[in-house]
Structure 1
Amino acid sequence: MNEFLLINSNNIADLISIGGVVQLSLAVVSVILAYIFACAVKRKITRSVVRLGIFWFGMLDKTIRPLIFSIITVMAGGVTMFFYNSASTLLYSLAIIGIIILFIKATVYTLDYALKNNKYRKHIKMLVKLALVMVIIFWTTNLDVILADQLGKVVLHFGKSQLSLWDFIREVIVIVFAIGVMIIATLVLDGWIKNLHDIDGNLKQLLLRISKILVVVIGVFMVLPSLGFDLTALSVLGGAVGVGIGFGLQKIASNFLSGFIILLDKSIKIGDRIIINNITGTVTRITTRYVVMQGFDGSEMLIPNEKFITDPVINQTYSNSNIGIEMVISVGYSSDMVLVIDTLRECIASVPEINQNMEPSVYIQKLNESGIDVFIRVWPLDGLNHGSVVRNKLNIAIIESFRKKNIEIPFPKRDVTVLK
């Protein structure tokens, strides 16, 4: 491919010839025509932005100019060869550069679109663009061959083994490049999966977890052979890891597998209100090792995934979010119980946050030594978020109604006899 490059003795010789001047003129004309045609095409595709979609419209906007420029320069090169019977090296080199620019723009735009919600988007774009430009410079100038020849003469000694400086730098570049590609691939997949609106939260978390594992596995299996490692040696390492898991890492493995089970059977989901081991909170995150639950005071509790498999779990929003509120009110034995029950029903009806379409429960629960316990169950419109508000308003309404109707709320009384 070196004959098509700008930094080439043939290209430089062509520039000072008549054919070179003609090619340079045609290149300038190609730039102007590419701009004119690109503007015309953009006006047409702007009307179809809804049909194309945001991504493809943006891709066309970024790549239309270098694409048209490359096509026009290739056509101009063919015309030049036909009339002058000479190779159009300069025009073909410019066409290749146009394709390179198209590739860089398409790659950077795809990355930018996938990472639009990532705070490190600008830095990642800059690094990727710099890496692509460096690769293209090395490829188009043959600089890598020159560096390999010079740096290969420098030998580094590591104990009894030795390695040339070029091989060392090359392996470091491969490792850094592989890590960078894995990080970017993970971020791209994260952004793509999180933007899927047709699947639930558990499936998203499962896809995110599987995608990260696949990226790491594929990256390792692609990098190790290039560094000279024998993949068959991984079987021995895998056996050692298996023994380690069986003895010392079984809890970690158990939590890891439990996380997959939770995501697959959808027993708990992000946003669910959970009670486990007398701990109440809302699930905010499901990770590989633990579930994050946020309490009413804002504190976050990290509970191992295994607990959600082995221990009893109360999921208040498993199939629906209708969470009831239960209360017990004590009244004196002298109270008219029919009046008490009617009054309590009136109090329930006076609270607008209670769902009146769901029948409340009001009945005598127990006869205590100091009073009669009346049980109440009501259904708030939003018990998940406003349960305490409903409880507070209902208590206030009951106290005020009991005072107006002289209904006694008893308290324990004790007779104390003083012996002399």
Structure 2
Amino acid sequence: MVILLVCVLVAWALRRWATPRINDWLRSREGWPRWRLRVAVILQRRLQLIFFVLLAWGADVVLSAITTFPSRRYLVALVATIATALLAVSLAARLIRSPFLRRLATWGLWAYVVIYFLGLSDGFSDFLDRVSVEFGDFRLSMLSVLKAMAVTGILFLGARTLAEQAQNRIEGNREISPSMQVLAIKFLQILLYGAAVFIGLKAVGFDLTGLAVLSGAIGVGLGFGLQKVVSNLVSGVIILLDKSVKPGDVISLGETFGWIERLGARYVSVVTREGKEYLIPNEDLITGQVVNWSHSNDFVRIDLSFGTSYGDDPHLVRKLAVEAAKSVPRVLQDRPAVCHITGFGDNSVDYVLRFWITDPVQGLMNVRGAVFLALWDRFKENGISIPFPQREVRLLADPPAAERPES
């Protein structure tokens, strides 16, 4: 006990001494990749346990060399073994992303490690097996629940790893369209996670046939209560299959204009030029009128309306308008830009200028503003005036006194 206490104090002192030096050294590693820095930080936060494991095993080696009675070093070897297992569990738990699940798995495995190495596993298992509930022939014990959670958690971790690897490979294949990539990834995730749950429950002896009637009744109730959710899920599958929209497309739905960031099982994420992210239910894209600016191609025609004075030559105005549009970098040069007279207004001759762009994801308002500014510069250089409504106010003199009405 004294030796173990000394190991704890020395490990604490070494951690206090080494932590600031390791932090300074890590700050100077500017060229390191992120994963290597993350591993270094994980190890740095467990320095005291690492030092204790090394010191405990060192003490065990020294005791084995100076004593002929193994019982004198039994406690040191046992504590060193448990500490090593706790360190391995804490490092392996970093594979779990969720902080809550990571903490739950860490504490659960730590408890199991201590019970196992102390030789209490059989008695503890019998106790958990006696804590149970029964529904007819169906028996559910606490031991079965814990085993199911452990096995299913491990299978879930493996399924997530396989899903991530498959997702990286599918997204890296340029021969698969973006919508089919999303569909394949979602199908693979559902298949892997569903198989993990089924195999995990069957592996610990759960009889799933006993839950068939109960799951059927629950399914009917959920079917009525989750009609919108199911509708969105089915609409999401239809969207992926018919390829009407896909990630990267620029769409307009009502007052929302932006590009599709990702396709979800229940909604579509649309990001606008202002940085706002709208989560539009899949059902709205199926039943509503959606303008897909880049469905079959990326060509988008933009119309600008303006007017000039009646004293300006309309032929010159049309020529200058086309030249102004062509001078903007985002306007396509290989597609015609045209300018037409649309009418003779009260104050001006009205025109419409039409031109094409191929990058609507970069925004429409900014290219409109750039063309309007180019029009202003060209008209100013050539003396073309842009009229605006004017009003003339006349003040009438007071009538003679004889013509004033009597009060």
TM range (shorter): 0.5 to 0.7
Question: 1:176 maps to what in 2?
Answer: 150
Q: Which amino acid aligns with 1:366?
A: G
- 2:269/2:277 contact within 8 Å kept: yes
What's the TM-score, normalizing by structure 2?
Answer: 0.61
Question: 1:272 maps to what in 2?
Answer: 249
Q: Which amino acid aligns with 1:184?
A: G
- Of stretches 281-290 and 234-243 in structure 1, the one that deviates more from structure 2 is 234-243
Does 2:373 match 1:399?
Answer: no
Percent of pairs with identical residues: 32
Which of 374, 383, 389 aligns to 1:412? It is 389
Q: Unmatched 5+ residue regions in structure 2? A: 1-94, 135-140, 399-407
- 1:322/1:382 contact within 8 Å kept: yes
For residue 259 of structure 1, report the CA deviation from its aligned partner.
0.8
Question: 2:230 maps to what in 1?
Answer: 253
Aligned partners of 1:230 and 1:150: how far apart in 2? 25
Question: 1:186 maps to what in 2?
Answer: 160
Which of 279, 287, 292 aligns to 1:310? It is 287
Residue 160 to residue 405, structure 1, CA distance change in 2 (3 Å): closer
Q: Which amino acid aligns with 1:255?
A: N
Question: 2:74 maps to what in 1?
Answer: none
Which of 320, 329, 337 aligns to 1:360? It is 337
Residue 350 to residue 150, structure 1, CA distance change in 2 (3 Å): closer
For residue 322 of structure 1, report the CA deviation from its aligned partner.
1.4
Question: 2:23 maps to what in 1?
Answer: none
- 1:351/1:394 contact within 8 Å kept: yes
For residue 405 of structure 1, report the CA deviation from its aligned partner.
2.1
Q: Which amino acid aligns with 1:239?
A: G
Residue 233 to residue 171, structure 1, CA distance change in 2 (3 Å): closer
Which of 300, 312, 331 aligns to 2:308? It is 331
Aligned partners of 2:316 and 2:390: how far apart in 1? 24
- 1:270/1:285 contact within 8 Å kept: yes
Which of 216, 221, 242 aligns to 2:193? It is 216
Q: How many residues end up aligned between the 2 structures?
A: 286
Residue 237 to residue 190, structure 1, CA distance change in 2 (3 Å): farther
What's the TM-score, normalizing by structure 1?
Answer: 0.60
Which of 320, 323, 327 aligns to 1:346? It is 323
Aligned partners of 2:378 and 2:122: how far apart in 1? 96
For residue 252 of structure 1, report the CA deviation from its aligned partner.
0.6
Aligned partners of 1:303 and 1:284: how far apart in 2? 11
Deviations 1:142-189 (A, max 9, x none): x89x8664445546654876xxxxx74464133222123123312322
- 1:190/1:208 contact within 8 Å kept: no
- 2:258/2:361 contact within 8 Å kept: no
Q: Which amino acid aligns with 1:185?
A: A
Residue 411 to residue 305, structure 1, CA distance change in 2 (3 Å): same
Q: Unmatched 5+ residue regions in structure 1? A: 1-114, 136-142, 162-166
For residue 368 of structure 1, report the CA deviation from its aligned partner.
2.1
> Aligned to 2:238, what secondary structure does the other structure show?
helix
Residue 266 to residue 234, structure 1, CA distance change in 2 (3 Å): farther
Deviations 1:295-315 (A, max 9, x none): 101111111111000000000
Aligned partners of 2:193 and 2:360: how far apart in 1? 43
